[in-house]
């Protein structure tokens, strides 16, 4: 029997406008053109609107008798297909036949009215009568189409029920043979379900529901192997609580995916229920955008000091509270944290200056120029704060998304050894690392305006969050049954899934991160760690030196992967080839050379032998130069306008060469990147405050000169590329 709860009752308003509501694009596409034609006929019935709203095409009208014959054939063909549908769907046959009878009656009335109108086409009354009957016919046809749409929905619901029954059979399997047979049935029913759900997904109007249905289909497919191996492990080792936990978790995920598909089909799940994937209210970037919008939309003539002051101060303090959490995070560099705190204090004062300017304008103490200046200062400061926050986020991304699979591999190695004490320790390390990835992903989303990218990050984060405890359970199973082939296969399946999901999360985070900001921050992090490596070399700490060198290699490989992913988005040309070449040199030559130098230095320290400082410094110089070359090459991709006020204040956190690293290379003439920065910083840098205090004409002249210089440099670099390495 048809589920009446799924039925949408179609109706038409008296004016001819449609009130039909369809979830399926197919039904809507079939009914939509008819509705438009009816609206035109209704307009044509009114002599006052027919000449102005309708644009007739001369020479395209058909004879009246031909149109009537076409109407008769169309109704007969529709009735023929409707009868076929009724024969194929016995459960809905009575309801379909009732609709068919209504269509037949309204169709006959439509044919008679059409013939009558064709004999007297100038009669307004006959036209109105025909339009009224056509609406009744359309209602009947829409009802039948809805029943057809409902039949498809019921087929999908029946498929969901079969998969649910298969899951119950899988859960009740008592041996491996029974499990294999039940899983085969489950696989065939799951394929049918995903195909039907895919067709339904293509027909949905709501984009969020389409994404949710696609996500559910992906979960069902992706978890199939996980479902089989967890069931197999439980049958083989029923005495292990970890096996039971994993088994229940996987079944719960599958059941929840089926439940969400059913909710979409039955219209119980709406876009509002999916706001956790699309919510922008928690975004720090959107909060700053809203603050700018509020500031720019203030009308001086309508300014209410008490109301506007409270509103803007509350907005700003909420932003600063969120900024403070990010600034106080572990990975935010101290220099950047200080700049963020200072920027927030300046922003507070700028808001007070702006509010005072509006207050003074109402009492004629200030002119509109004061308001404009205060507004410009405020928006400039929010732009500067955004830039600092983006780089603070990249501090976290650079530290967290490096060697992301190392905690997982370490956990598996400990599990294979069966060391229970270390297993608990490494399990916690793995969970903490996963939690850190999720936290940093959330930070990246908060500073991005890429809504599609944010959605992908959040979906990937959900998968990583679900997999993390399951990985720990798999490790516990393997540690308890080290010689079990089933336990090892189970661990391998979950490890592969975790690796793929972490990579997906990494790529998604990279997509919402600006690559030039990422390279700038990574370059400074690498320089900082090179300095610390020199200190470790001087202090004869081989373990610290080896650990720092590993981090440097990981950061360099991360830079290579990010840049190659970025260049894949562009068509090959000389600039792209140049970028790829610099990456290949760094990846294939310089990293290996640096690793060899570190290995030699660590071996000498461990054996208390004389160390060749020059060799290590040279390897460090080359690795830094390689990163610097990659960044410079990538910057040639971007031909954005030059923002003087923005770039003059963009002093990235650049650690200077400290005294320890100077002592390491004091006896050599080797070039060290720290000296390069030291030499450039000997002169007093050009401060933004100096630039702002210049007269407007002089500021514009400086900006034009800088833009001209930047464009000439870009043209020169492009010209050099044509001859570089070509003789």
DSSP string, 113-154: HHHHHHH-TT-HHHHHHHHHHHHHHHHHHHHHHHHHHHHHHH
Other Cβ atoms within 10 Å of 697 Cβ, number: 8
- Cα dihedral 319, 445, 579, 718 in deg (nearest 10): -50
* Residue among 382, 376, 374, 342 at smallest CA distance from 356: 374
Residue 54: predicted pLDDT: 44
On whether the 284-386 domain is CATH 1.20.120, my answer is yes
| CB-CB contact of 111 with 131 (8 Å) | no
Cα–Cα distance list, 131 to 11, 20, 44, 45 (Å)? 15, 17, 10, 9
Other Cβ atoms within 10 Å of 686 Cβ, number: 11
Residue 40: predicted pLDDT: 58
From the options 1.20.120.230, 1.10.10.10, 3.30.70.600, 3.90.1170.50, give the CATH code of 514-723. 1.20.120.230
- Cα 62 vs. chain centroid, distance in angstroms? 53
Write the DSSP assignment of 246-267 as a string of letters: HHHHHHHHHHHHHHHHHHHHTT
Q: Which fold has domain 175-278?
A: 1.20.120
Residue 526: predicted pLDDT: 93
Residue 213 CA to residue 193 CA, distance in Å, equals 12
Cα–Cα distance list, 702 to 643, 648, 681, 705 (Å)? 11, 11, 21, 5
Cα–Cα distance list, 654 to 133, 466, 521, 569, 726 (Å)? 78, 39, 9, 30, 35
Residue 341: predicted pLDDT: 92
Residue 120: predicted pLDDT: 78
Residue 590 CA to residue 304 CA, distance in Å, equals 63
Find the helix or strand (DSSP H, E) in which 377 lies.
helix 368-400
Name residues whose C-beta falls within 8 Å of residue 524's C-beta, 6 or more positions apart in sequence. Answer: 652, 653, 654, 655
Q: Which residues of the chain have pLDDT under 50?
A: 1-21, 49-56, 58-59, 640-687, 689, 722, 724-727
Residue 147: predicted pLDDT: 76
Q: Which fold has domain 402-513?
A: 1.20.120
| CB-CB contact of 547 with 563 (8 Å) | no
Equal CATH topology for 4-152 and 175-278: yes
Q: How many residues does the chain have?
A: 727
- Could you tell me the maximum CA-CA distance found in the chain, to the nearest angstrom? 112
Q: Where are the domains of the chain?
A: 4-152, 175-278, 284-386, 402-513, 514-723
Q: What is the pTM of this model?
A: 0.76
Residue 281 CA to residue 72 CA, distance in Å, equals 56
Find the helix or strand (DSSP H, E) in which 441 lies.
helix 420-446
Residue 253: predicted pLDDT: 93
Residue 490 CA to residue 476 CA, distance in Å, equals 11
Q: Which structure tokens are listed for 52?
A: 């102005």
Name residues whose C-beta falls within 8 Å of residue 112's C-beta, 6 or more positions apart in sequence. Answer: none
On whether the 4-152 domain is CATH 1.20.120.230, my answer is yes
Residue 560: predicted pLDDT: 95
Q: Name the residue with tokens 């702006």.
A: 354
| CB-CB contact of 158 with 31 (8 Å) | no
| CB-CB contact of 495 with 431 (8 Å) | no
């Amino acid at each position: 029997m048809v589920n009446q709860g799924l039925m949408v009752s179609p109706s038409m308003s008296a004016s001819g406008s449609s009130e039909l509501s369809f979830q399926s694009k197919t039904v809507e596409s079939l009914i939509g053109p008819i509705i438009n034609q009816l609206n035109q006929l209704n307009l044509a019935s009114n002599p006052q609107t027919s000449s102005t709203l309708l644009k007739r095409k001369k020479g395209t009208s058909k004879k009246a008798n031909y149109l009537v014959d076409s109407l008769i054939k169309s109704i007969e063909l529709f009735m023929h297909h409707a009868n076929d549908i009724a024969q194929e769907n016995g459960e809905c046959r009575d309801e379909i036949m009732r609709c068919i009878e209504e269509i037949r009656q309204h169709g006959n009335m439509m044919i008679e009215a059409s013939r009558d109108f064709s004999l007297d086409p100038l009669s307004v009354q006959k036209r109105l009568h025909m339009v009224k009957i056509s609406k009744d016919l359309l209602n009947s046809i829409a009802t039948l189409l809805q029943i057809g749409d409902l039949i498809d929905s019921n087929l999908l619901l029946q498929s969901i029920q079969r998969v649910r029954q298969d899951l119950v059979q899988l859960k009740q399997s008592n041996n491996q043979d029974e499990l294999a047979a039940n899983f085969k049935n489950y696989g065939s029913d799951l394929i049918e379900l995903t195909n039907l759900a895919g067709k339904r997904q293509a027909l949905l109007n709501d984009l969020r529901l389409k994404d949710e249905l696609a996500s559910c289909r992906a979960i069902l497919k992706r978890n199939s192997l996980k479902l089989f191996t967890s069931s197999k492990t439980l049958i083989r080792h029923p005495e292990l609580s970890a096996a039971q936990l994993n088994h229940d978790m996987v079944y719960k995920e599958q059941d929840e995916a089926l439940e969400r598909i059913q909710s979409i089909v039955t219209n119980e799940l709406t876009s509002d229920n999916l706001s956790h994937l699309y919510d922008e209210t928690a975004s720090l970037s959107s909060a700053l955008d809203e603050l700018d919008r509020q500031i720019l939309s203030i009308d001086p003539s309508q300014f209410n000091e008490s109301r506007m002051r409270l509103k803007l101060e509350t907005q700003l303090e909420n932003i600063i509270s969120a900024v403070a959490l990010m600034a106080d995070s572990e990975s935010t560099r101290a220099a950047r944290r200080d700049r963020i705190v200072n920027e927030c204090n300046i922003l507070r004062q700028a808001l007070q200056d702006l509010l005072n300017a509006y207050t003074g304008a109402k009492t004629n103490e200030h002119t509109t120029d004061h308001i404009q200046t205060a507004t410009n200062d405020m928006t400039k400061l929010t732009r500067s704060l955004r830039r600092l926050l983006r780089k603070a986020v990249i501090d976290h991304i650079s530290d967290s998304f490096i060697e992301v699979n190392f905690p997982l591999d370490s956990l598996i190695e400990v599990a294979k050894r069966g060391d229970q004490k270390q297993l608990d320790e490494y399990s916690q390390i793995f969970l903490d690392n996963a939690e850190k990835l999720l936290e940093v992903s959330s930070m990246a989303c908060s500073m991005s305006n890429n809504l599609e990218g944010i959605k992908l990050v959040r979906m990937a984060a959900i998968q990583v969050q679900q997999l993390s405890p399951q990985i720990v359970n798999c490790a516990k199973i393997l540690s308890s049954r080290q010689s079990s082939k089933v336990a090892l296969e189970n661990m391998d399946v979950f490890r592969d899934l975790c690796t793929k999901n972490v990579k997906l999360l990494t790529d998604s985070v990279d997509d919402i991160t600006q690559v030039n900001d990422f390279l700038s921050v990574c370059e400074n992090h690498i320089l900082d760690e090179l300095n610390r490596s020199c200190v470790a070399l001087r202090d004869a700490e081989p373990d610290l030196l080896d650990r720092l060198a590993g981090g440097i290699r990981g950061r360099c490989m991360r830079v290579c992967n990010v840049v190659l992913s970025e260049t894949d988005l562009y068509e090959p040309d000389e600039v792209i080839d140049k970028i790829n070449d610099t990456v290949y040199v760094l990846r294939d030559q310089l990293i290996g050379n640096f690793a060899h130098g570190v290995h030699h230095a660590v071996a000498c320290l461990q054996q208390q032998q004389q160390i060749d400082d020059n060799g290590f410094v040279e390897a460090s110089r080359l690795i830094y130069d390689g990163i610097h070359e990659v960044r410079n090459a990538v910057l040639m991709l971007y031909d954005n306008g030059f923002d003087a006020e923005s770039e003059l204040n963009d002093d990235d956190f650049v650690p200077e060469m400290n005294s320890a690293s100077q002592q390491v290379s004091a006896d050599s003439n080797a070039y060290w990147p720290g000296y390069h920065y030291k030499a450039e910083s000997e002169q007093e840098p050009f401060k933004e405050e100096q630039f702002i205090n210049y007269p407007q004409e002089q500021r514009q002249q400086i900006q034009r000169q800088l833009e001209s210089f930047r464009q000439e440099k870009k043209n020169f670099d492009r010209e050099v590329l044509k001859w570089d390495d070509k003789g």
